[in-house]
Amino acid sequence: MSLVSYFEKNPAAKRHIWLISMTYPFIPLMGVGLMLATGNVHMAWAPIVFIYLIMPIIETLLGDDEHDLLGLDHEQVELSPFYRFMVHASMPVIYMSWLIGAWFVATQPLPVSSYIALTWAHGAGLAFALNSGHEIGHKTDKVSKWVALLTLAPVFYGHFRVEHNTGHHSDVATPRDSATARFGESYYGFMMREYPGAWKRAWRLESKRASRRGYSRFSLKNEVIATVLFQVVLWSAIVLVLGWTVLPYLIGAAAFGSSMLSMQNYVGHYGLLREKRPDGKYLPCMPHHSWNTKNMVTNIISYNLARHSDHHAHPSRHYQHLRNLPEVPELPYGYGTMFLLAYFPPLFRKVMDPVVLANVDGDMSKVLTKELCAAEGYA
């Protein structure tokens, strides 16, 4: 019996595939383990090599999820509690990896290069925290809300839940969205625009909510203020316990983790533009307003986030129900390879710009450009 046939006859077994995603937060600890086992400080770079070299190779070799091994029919709702529990259970795993890294850099005599390598590796691990917080944060129950905010705290990105759900999903693929990359924009230029844009939008949205509900924007009911205070307390406690030497690790890992979120946004919406209605307003977001990839490895470690077309068309849909939709814009490679290309803007544009133009049959009026953004007042 083939693997595909087995899962078709035993749909409940699909849950076992998803357990692979729980191994990702442990990758940063590879450096710590190898350093302790060998005494070689250069082993701190092992997770970086694995993430940026080995994983893209595995991603390419395994290819796309053509048979929807990662999907789940809506009729199989009895399986959903497991999937919800699994993504919630990622929070203690993320904290364990992050805190072990903090302890190690604060207590071991490390050369600067090894400290940087471990900080970088754990920053890549925190990208998983953002991904988990994103999935959990789309749920509306109070438990999921607080689990999401706790999961986002190590990255100092608690404002993301408001900014992403209410802001990005409303504005995506339009000039007013700071999280949609413009055609020809480099990843570095996009990140410098997107990161402060996320904070500004979160504050603006929470200020409007405060005004509607009749309380001060500086109240603890403001989710931006509440999450920032919690994150400051959490980080301060770690510094008090481990000392000031841990602070560069906390800041560096959070900065790199948040840069990976910018990378996903950059790759996931590059150059795409929603059509306008006759009255000049943009049409609702449709599946063809996000870049999709069916890559098996990418979707396992991202809770199907790379099925981005379906996610943006149906934001509340649980990750196990996201579909590989036909006739949506497809990235030429999985996230691992696309992220690598994005670090080198000329290479990224050489690969991606022709794909963008082919998607609109060469019609630049259907592409999100810097000129269009400037014309609408979003320079």
Q: What pLDDT was estimated at residue 205?
A: 96
In the block, residue with structure tokens 């590059």:
270
CA-based nearest residue to 169, from 196, 193, 145, 205: 205
Q: Which residue range is the domain that position 12 belongs to?
A: 3-375
Q: What pLDDT was estimated at residue 66?
A: 82
Counted domains in the chain: 1
Residue 272 zone, left/alpha/beta (φ > 0; ψ -120 to 50; rest): beta
Q: What is the mean pLDDT of each run of 10 residues along the chain (379 residues)?
A: 64 79 93 95 96 92 85 61 86 96 96 97 95 92 91 96 94 96 97 96 95 91 95 97 97 97 97 92 93 93 93 90 90 95 97 97 95 91
Give dist(CA 269, CA 306) in Å, integer. 11
DSSP 8-state symbol, 294:
-
Residue 276: strand, helix, or coil: strand
CB within 8 Å of 268: residues ≥ 6 apart? 290, 291, 308
- Mind listing the pLDDT tens digit for each residue in 359-371? 999 999 999 999 9
Give dist(CA 197, CA 371) in Å, integer. 19
Question: Does this model's pTM top 0.85?
Answer: yes
